[in-house]
Amino acid sequence: MVKIKTLTKRHCLQMKNVITITPSWLFTSKKDWTRGIARLEEMGLRVINKKFITRLPSPEGKAAQLHRAFLNSKAGIILAQRGGASSMKMLKHVNFDIIKKHPKVFAGFSDLSTLLNAIYERTGQVTLHAPMVINFSKASRFTATSFLNAINGFTRKNLFSGAPVNVYREGTATGTLKGGNLVTLTTLIGTPWEIPTDGAILFLEDVDEKLHEVDRYLSQWILAGKFKRLKGLILGDFRGIKSDDVYRMINGMMRVTFPVLHCPYIGHVKNKITLPVGAKVALDTRAKTLSLVGQ
């Protein structure tokens, strides 16, 4: 596995250079694009492609754009412009050998959950569940600090540092961190890109879904055996739905034997934690910490 700390040392000169890609939807506001770029540069980063894109590539074109970004020797960070939908359509066109041979930090969230997890599973490269350009247009200090902590090699090991945490089932666990957007990842079940969850500490979040819809998605995960060998579960923000209700859905369908907690700073929220998908982490509900191990 390519570790983030190794990447930051190897690419110390390139790590401040960001190349943006459009694997999901386009910006609709040039003003938001400009503000997002400006905030990234205020944080000490340099965006090397600032042109405002108005035409969305085909799935094949998105994959080609991804390949070019990984092959770009000037960039250290590949950052999605925004989420939305449709990134899963490009998966069958992605050449994961290119990604494996030219490792970089790949960041995004929401619809990008497909690529974050697929890249880790097929290359061993840790990816970042992180804010995108559109989120940086209005990023809080917490969001910016968490992102910088990630790209600087996670000098602060406790990923929950400064964030509120609520515990539903106590315990400690160590495992591989995986997860992202519930709806997006549910669509991968039964496909070649389905996430293996055995031994994982899984985090899930969603936005503006109805209670019965979230219940349906979680039921599919449970019926498919995806929670059977989990080491731990982290519920992020489910905007419009109480986390208590989300936990009750799970607890009502299965006997929960692993630690479960809720952190509202994961998801489509103002204060956003950057999480390393594929990293080995330790979860401790008593200390309310999620810490990197072996980095």
- Tell me how far CA of residue 24 lies from CA of 89, 109, 128, 153, 258, in angstroms: 10, 11, 16, 27, 34
Residue 56 pLDDT > 60:
yes
Indicate whether 198 belongs to any domain: yes
Which domain CATH number covers 112? 3.40.50.10740
Indicate whether 41 belongs to any domain: yes
Which domain CATH number covers 248? 3.50.30.60
State residue 295's pLDDT score: 61
Residues 230-254: tens digit of each pLDDT: 999 999 999 999 999 999 999 999 9
State residue 52's pLDDT score: 86
Q: Mention every residue, 6+ apart, whose C-beta is less than 8 A from residue 141.
A: none
Q: Both 139 and 171 in a single domain?
A: no
Give 117 or 55, the one with higher predicted confidence.
117
Count of domains for the chain? 2
- Tell me how far CA of residue 159 lies from CA of 24, 47, 266, 270, in angstroms: 27, 26, 11, 16
* Calpha distance 257→255 (Å, rounded): 6
* Calpha distance 3→19 (Å, rounded): 20
Q: Both 10 and 143 in a single domain?
A: yes
Q: Both 112 and 188 in a single domain?
A: no
Phi, psi of 30 (to 5 degrees): -65, -30
Of the candidates 279, 4, 127, which has an alpha carbon nearest to the alpha carbon of residue 290? Answer: 279
State residue 14's pLDDT score: 67
Residue located via tokens 């995960």:
221
Q: Both 132 and 237 in a single domain?
A: no
Q: Both 184 and 48 in a single domain?
A: no
Burial (0-12, 13-18, 19+ Cβ within 10 Å), 75: buried
171 membership: H or E segment, kind and range: none
Residue 196 pLDDT > 50:
yes
Residues 82-141: tens digit of each pLDDT: 999 999 999 999 999 999 999 999 999 999 999 999 999 999 999 999 999 999 999 999
Indicate whether 181 belongs to any domain: yes
Q: Which of 151, 184, 219 is the last residue of a domain?
A: 151
- Residues 134, 135, 141, CA angle at the centre, nearest 5°? 145
Q: Both 11 and 137 in a single domain?
A: yes
Residue 174 pLDDT > 70:
yes
Indicate whether 185 belongs to any domain: yes
State residue 1's pLDDT score: 30
Indicate whether 29 belongs to any domain: yes
Give 14 or 279, the one with higher predicted confidence.
279
State residue 53's pLDDT score: 85
Indicate whether 87 belongs to any domain: yes
**What's the average model confidence in pLDDT over 216-241?**
97
Q: Mention every residue, 6+ apart, whose C-beta is less than 8 A from residue 277.
A: 116, 117, 120, 126, 127, 128, 129, 177, 178, 179, 180
* Calpha distance 119→271 (Å, rounded): 26
Mean of the per-residue pLDDT values of the chain: 94
- Tell me how far CA of residue 99 lies from CA of 14, 63, 96, 173, in angstroms: 16, 11, 5, 30
Residues 1-32: tens digit of each pLDDT: 344 444 444 445 567 999 999 999 989 899 99
Q: Which of 96, 117, 151 is the last residue of a domain?
A: 151
Q: Both 98 and 224 in a single domain?
A: no
Domain that holds residue 265: 166-292
Q: How many residues does the chain have?
A: 295
Residue located via tokens 């939908």:
85
CB atoms within 10 A of CB 180: 30
**What's the average model confidence in pLDDT over 208-234?**
97
**What's the average model confidence in pLDDT over 135-163?**
95
